[in-house]
Amino acid sequence: MTIHINGTVRHREFTLTLDETFPSGTTWAILGANGAGKSTLLRAIAGLQPLTTGSLSIDGALVDHADGFITAQRRRVGLVFQDYALFPHLSVADNVSFGFQTPRGGNLSKGRARREAAHLLEQFALAELAERKPGQLSGGQSQRVALARALAPRPQVLLLDEPLAALDVVARAQVREDLALRLAEFTGITMIVTHDPADARLATHVAILDQGLVTQSGTVWQVCQQPIGPYARALADAFG
């Protein structure tokens, strides 16, 4: 299973230009400055931002091209936003069970969705928080709930948009360790947008964006061996 994207995404004066392939079983750190196009890349893959030109395929199926567009609700893609975007009026259990009641999650009945959610909450050590509301959670707990909800529909692709940015330094280190364990169990493609080269320790591969272009991509080792630009050099320094 691979993602292949060859095209452009235009938003006002900004254009993101891509010709990249992301293979199955890889975890990508997407690095770059503000406005480089990192979140735009994730939104295009998720189906939240249509391509302006070109095509996008997931697992060999075209999901965005000149003759058709598959909506976000019907793509097997999980997305965790920087602010986690949990439903504030729903409990933890209901936030996670929501993922099973979508077209991607099989449109399960409420009762069965709750049972599936309970199993997932056990896996994420969240069972004791099942009836709490998001406002009663710590940043690290909210991140785990958001990740569980994203994984509920059993996606092919997992997209994390700066998942650690809202945490303080101590919590970030702890959650990074927990996230590494969760990602090790995920067999699809993961992309993590970040400004912090230290987060690339979660990744097997790196893509560095600058002003709407991918300036360097490859395995972490490849990029560290021949770094191009400040983000690649910071990555090389982070890995010693």
**End-to-end CA separation in angstroms for the chain:** 32
Tell me the pairing of strands 213-219 and 205-210: antiparallel
Read off the pLDDT of residues 198-208 as tens digits, 9 standing for 90 and up.
888 899 999 99
The identity of residue 25, as a single letter, is G
Architecture of domain 2-76+157-238: 3-Layer(aba) Sandwich (3.40)
What pLDDT score was predicted for residue 12?
Answer: 87
pLDDT(49) > 90: yes
pLDDT(99) > 90: no
- Mean pLDDT calculated for residue range 21-39: 94
CA distance 149 to 144: 9
Q: pLDDT confidence of 21, banded at 50, 70, 90?
A: very high
Q: pLDDT confidence of 140, banded at 50, 70, 90?
A: confident
Q: Say if pTM beats, i.e. exceeds, 0.85.
A: yes
Task: Kindly give, in sequence order, each residue whose CB lies less than 8 Å from that of residue 185, ignoring residues fewer than 6 positions away.
Answer: none
Q: pLDDT confidence of 169, banded at 50, 70, 90?
A: confident
Read off the pLDDT of residues 181-229 as tens digits, 9 standing for 90 and up.
888 888 999 999 988 888 888 999 999 999 999 999 999 999 999 999 8
What pLDDT score was predicted for residue 53?
Answer: 97
pLDDT, the chain, mean? 91
Q: Give the full edge-to-edge strand order of the sheet including 27-31.
A: 77-80, 157-161, 189-194, 27-31, 205-210, 213-219
Q: pLDDT confidence of 51, banded at 50, 70, 90?
A: very high
What pLDDT score was predicted for residue 193?
Answer: 95
Domain regions of the chain by residue span? 2-76+157-238, 88-155
- Mean pLDDT calculated for residue range 18-40: 94
Q: pLDDT confidence of 129, banded at 50, 70, 90?
A: very high
pLDDT(23) > 90: yes
C-beta of residue 206 within 8 angstroms of C-beta of residue 221: no
What pLDDT score was predicted for residue 88?
Answer: 95
